Amino acid sequence: MSVVRRTLRSVVKLPGRRRPVDLSHPVRSPLGSAVENCVVYVDGARRPGDLEPQDAVRLVRTKGEGFVWIGLYEPSERAFAPIAELFDLHPLAVSAALEGGPRPRLEVFGDMALAVFKPVAYVEHAELTATCEVVESGEITVLTGPDYVITVRHGRHGTLGPVREGLEASPELLAHGPSAVLYAVADQVVSDCLTAGEGILTDIDTVETDVFGDNHALADVARIYHLKRELLELKRAVAPLARPLQQLAEKPMLAVDPAIRPYFRDVADHQSRAMDQINGFDELLLSILQANIARVSMAQNEDMRKISAWVAILAVPTMVCGVYGMNFDHMPELRWTYGYPAVLCVIAGICFTLHRAFRRRGWL
């Protein structure tokens, strides 16, 4: 295994990182067609039962403690309108929750923070082809305020079930409120990127084996380009996270608990590792592509040498037969009894000599 690949594997295998759970069909609660759940947390503990959003907010604000976490899946404008009115959300925040955006970002509106993430997942496939899907992405919008968290998901991937379970298993972290939920979502998204990188590295190993193996095929070029395109999608989900994570970790913000900032620095470090991983993959694919093109060129040159050698050998009988086929009356050895076998022997001798010479040079 090359030094580059050993380095990449050391970046990919991070101990303690959890793998995402893929739910192809999200589970909807009876609270509504878009609301997946609505839960109240007080001092890091979950209040039993699911409540309507209005009742949950009333409970939290009446007691003056805890926060409410509302999870939605692909809400329509009509379904999201009561939520936006209940929390007096900024119009730009509403637009981001409904439509998302082309890239991850972070915005602050007073005491509310808006974060948009692009979770990715590696798509398992029996065989890597030039058309199969390798990376699939979704979208998560997180709106955090003093006493609420609103998460809006789009796409099949990016389920927040593991995030909720992990937070509920760490009440001391969940006690920090909505900032802890924002951190957990960011950490899950980056973890998913690292997990997707492990799958992509397996595909790169497969392509590398095919390119440098005995069963070399020209179709490998299409697969390499396909992997580079899928890697670009992964980069679009990871690269823009650098600035938002840095802001959450270092910049004083009303919407973020200061005690959670060190956690965001940890996520920023993992994001940096993910970018190193992606850049390493890109360089490795480029090297494989260049090696593949060089090997194809060498194979074509070898074929051309073989063709040229056989053309040179066949040129001898073609020339001799062409000369004796001109039908002149006076030609050397034309009336000689042994002229015909002599000419054949000369042709065979010259062809045999040329064949041995080309084989010694490696042309045949």
pLDDT at 110: 82
Q: Map tokens 């991850």 to a residue.
A: 104
Helices (H), the chain: 3-12, 53-63, 77-87, 91-99, 161-168, 171-174, 178-212, 220-238, 242-250, 261-324, 339-360
Mean pLDDT of 280-293: 87
pLDDT digits (tens, 9 = 90+) for 9-38: 433 333 333 333 333 333 333 344 578 889
Nearest residue to 22 (alpha-carbon basis) of 210, 173, 157, 216: 157
Is the pLDDT reported for residue 300 higher than 80? Answer: no
pLDDT digits (tens, 9 = 90+) for 152-186: 998 877 688 889 999 999 999 999 999 999 999 99
- Whole-angstrom distance, CA of residue 196 vs CA of residue 192: 6
What's the number of CA atoms in the CB half-sphere (13 Å) around residue 265? 8
pLDDT digits (tens, 9 = 90+) for 130-158: 778 888 888 999 999 999 999 999 887 76
Q: Enter the DSSP assignment of 126.
A: S
- Whole-angstrom distance, CA of residue 200 vs CA of residue 15: 19
Mean pLDDT of 218-245: 84
- Taking a C-beta distance cutoff of 8 angstroms, is the pair 8, 277 a contact? yes
Q: Which residue has the higher pLDDT, 219 or 230?
A: 230
Mean pLDDT of 242-260: 84
- Whole-angstrom distance, CA of residue 206 vs CA of residue 214: 13
Is the pLDDT reported for residue 327 higher than 80? Answer: no
Mean pLDDT of 50-78: 89
pLDDT confidence bin for 263, thresholds 50/70/90: very high
The DSSP string of 17-61 is: PPPPPP-SSPPPPTT-SSEEEEEEEETTEEPSS---HHHHHHHHH
Beta bridge partners of 39: 69
Nearest residue to 193 (alpha-carbon basis) of 17, 16, 26: 17
* Token pair in block for residue 319: 């020339």
What are the structural domains, with CATH classification, of the chain? 3-295 (3.30.460.20), 301-360 (1.20.58.340)
What's the number of CA atoms in the CB half-sphere (13 Å) around residue 341? 2
Beta bridge partners of 142: 115, 151
pLDDT digits (tens, 9 = 90+) for 303-322: 788 888 888 888 888 888 88
- Whole-angstrom distance, CA of residue 148 vs CA of residue 91: 17
